[in-house]
Chain A
Amino acid sequence: MNSQLANYRESDWFGPLLITVAAIVIVSVFNPEFLSPYNLQILLLAIAVNALIALSQMMIIAIGQMNLSVGAIGGLAAISFGGMMEVWLIPWPVAALLALGIGLFAGIANGVLVAWTGISAFVITLASLSIFKGINLGITEAQPFYKIPEIVKLLGNETFLGPLPWLILPTVVVAVGLWYLLSFLPLGRFILAVGGNAHSAELSGISVAKTVVAAHAISGLLAAMAGIMLVGRLQLGQPTIGDDWLILSFAAPVIGGAVLTGGKVSVAGTLLGVTIVVIINQVLVLFNIDPFLVQVVLGGLILWAVGVNRWREVRAQKTEKRLAA
């Protein structure tokens, strides 16, 4: 019984879970409004979109790389979704599928370039960030698409049960799907193996190139999904969607215990990371604290999280050494 508890304590999601619960309790004591159905709905809406952004980055962290273009892909998918409905009068489910396709294609392009050239993902995705954002501005000329169908606006804001918004459904499906992928499916194990050590993965017969492309494809798809959902949420296809995703996309996975050199990520941890970030955002609003401080808090959270992860790593190495000796 005791050892089981110790196991939980060692797991990645235990710390973030403790913080999440503590934060909810403390905030709701100071301000009971925090747990009102309306506020919960707002919280869940924010979590639904931000979780996809974080999971999109998490898949690239899993292979030990980084994707600076998550926001640019999301923005491009968002304005394509809005534009196709407004200009070409395409029905919304078809437009959503096509926009997802754009995200998937953008991700595959990233992955193929990284795998084929061997140039660092940082440079490739910095270039593609600029290309995708440029296409976005070229199409929209910085003007939003306003004519979003009512049904999309409804799905983006309404609830289907109590405080549960429609938008939470795709996020739940994605989160469960990714957890299953990373825990049980060969592709997921390949992704983690490549992130852990690309060389030994290659030697054990895994195609590193294909795995890298697959991870980038999933990342692009999830970023596009987040962009499309934001169009419903904001009720317009805004060209600035995705501009401020970068920090959050790294903060949530590292709070959830992801190791930036790859091979170790946690879907549950990342979701808790997103929840912590969203709660902090809300608290700053509820208690009338300067919203500009959000940036400082987010940056501080990243430093704190990587610091904790690093400390655990060092401690694990020490224990290993002691056991070996």
Chain B
Amino acid sequence: MNNTTKAADRTADAFGPDVQETSSQHPAMRLLLTNEFGLIALILVFAVLFTLLNPGFVSKFSLFAMGRTAAVNIMIGFSMMVVIITGGLNLSVGSIGVCAAMAAGWLMQSLGLPWYLSLVGGLGVGGALGALNGIVIVRSGLHSFIITLASMSIFFGVMIFLTHAGSFREIAPEVVAPGRMKFFGVISPLLLITFVVAGLLSVLFRFTATGRQMLAVGASPQAAELSGIRVQRMTVWCHALSGVLAGVAGLMLVSRTGAAIPSMAGQLGQDWLLPAFLGPVLGGTLLTGGRASVLGTLLGAFLVTMLTTGLLLLQIAAFWVQTYLGLLLLVAVLMDLLRRSYLARKKLV
């Protein structure tokens, strides 16, 4: 019984701060305490700061480049977010992303398929690998950490073995074009794709039964099971969705660089791990599952991209960027802890 109410509470969280109203609190106060508001404030503060230090920060090209990078980082964040809401994690996002990109490259260059079929093929590979993760996790009953740690190594190894670590450079112009195109001189089409995906994810988690069942599974698997939700099937779906989103991020990188390169996410795709967790964690997605914030993840990943761009532009930190991002993650989780204990003390939640 207790579990069920807890699950209901947690799922309610996903629908924004205005759902639970208690008499003791001011609606404006609640808004100020949300993660999303904090992130917007931080983004504004840093934007002003960087612009004052270097006016080049808001040049058309800088804004365009930032948006294009943010598009990929946000997508990587989404890919991790949809697994985190089940209470698990997916270390193989980078590995899957590269595999999907390489598969699309192979279909285009070696099989000569039309570009749209190749992209669908790449996304299919991403989804299939994600689903494979999910199936092994629910069948074995083991934690997703160790399964995806192993699969990250296996997927990447098989991909390198099949491609002999070679790149695919004959990418169709239709695929490369969105990576170069600019709307109004500043907006990358890739960013628009990301916004569309963000919209779809919001609809999924707010308005569809499937999305709400996914959140319920993350909040409390037992309670979800008792309410007639197929917990295992939902977990597999979440992992498959994560694979597809990782594939989208990988294909965006192909579009940007004009080639499918095995090393584009680092050794075993490890380079994606930090952005993958930074977005959702900054955005207030609970690592224990049951709560997703699409807008938060989007803002979190954008903040990270902006900080990276700003630090690089100021030329004070080319080699230190990784340290700052690590510190940012640390500060973010500590702030979240403080916020939570403040809310608990003031009985706002």
Contacts and interface: CB of A to CB of B under 8 A. Distances in A.
Interface in A259-314: 260-261, 290, 292-300, 302-303, 306-307, 310
A126 interface: yes
Contacts of A176: none
Nearest to B332: A127
Contacts, number: 134
A113 interface: yes
Interface stretch (A23-31, A47-55, A137-145, A230-238): A137-145
A293 B161 contact: yes
Q: Which one of B147, B157, B158, B327 has the greatest number of beta carbons of chain A within 10 Å?
A: B157
B153 A302 contact: yes
Interface string B129-171: 0000000100011110111011111101110110001000000
Interface stretch (A32-40, A117-125, A154-162): A117-125
A216 interface: no
Interface stretch (A4-12, A181-189, A195-203, A244-252): A244-252
Interface in A190-244: 243-244
B89 A134 contact: no
Interface in B261-313: 267-268, 270, 273-274, 277, 281, 287
Contact of B267 (A124, A244, A306): A244
Interface of A is mostly: helix
Contacts of B160: 292, 295
B305 to A, nearest CB: 15
Interface stretch (B103-111, B226-234, B315-323): B315-323
A128 interface: yes
Given A122-B89, A131-B330, A260 B145 contact: yes
B326 interface: yes
A183 B150 CA distance: 30
B303 to A, nearest CB: 15
Interface residues of A, number: 46
B154 A142 contact: no
A306 B146 contact: yes
B145 to A, nearest CB: 7
Nearest to A240: B267
Interface in B319-342: 319-327, 329-330, 333-334, 337
A130 B333 CA distance: 15
A142 B322 contact: no
A134 B327 CA distance: 10
Contacts of B141: 310
B157 A294 contact: yes
A141 B320 CA distance: 9
Contacts of A137: 319-320, 322
A265 B268 CA distance: 27
B157 A130 contact: no
Contacts of B143: 260-261
B146 to A, nearest CB: 5
Contacts of A134: 319-326
Contacts of B325: 130, 134
Given A126-B273, A295-B154, A295-B268, A250 B149 contact: yes
B330 A129 contact: no
B154 A300 contact: yes
Contacts of B145: 66, 122, 260
Contact of A290 (B161, B270, B277, B324): B161
Contacts of B136: 303
B161 A296 contact: yes
A78 interface: no
Nearest to A68: B273
A123 B142 contact: no
B152 A299 contact: yes
Interface of B: 89, 136, 140-143, 145-147, 149-154, 156-158, 160-161, 165, 267-268, 270, 273-274, 277, 281, 287, 319-327, 329-330, 333-334, 337
9 contacts: A127-B326, A134-B324, A243-B270, A292-B157, A294-B157, A296-B158, A302-B149, A306-B142, A307-B142
Given A296-B161, A298-B157, 12 more contacts: A124-B330, A124-B333, A129-B326, A134-B320, A135-B320, A138-B319, A260-B143, A296-B153, A302-B146, A302-B153, A307-B140, A310-B142
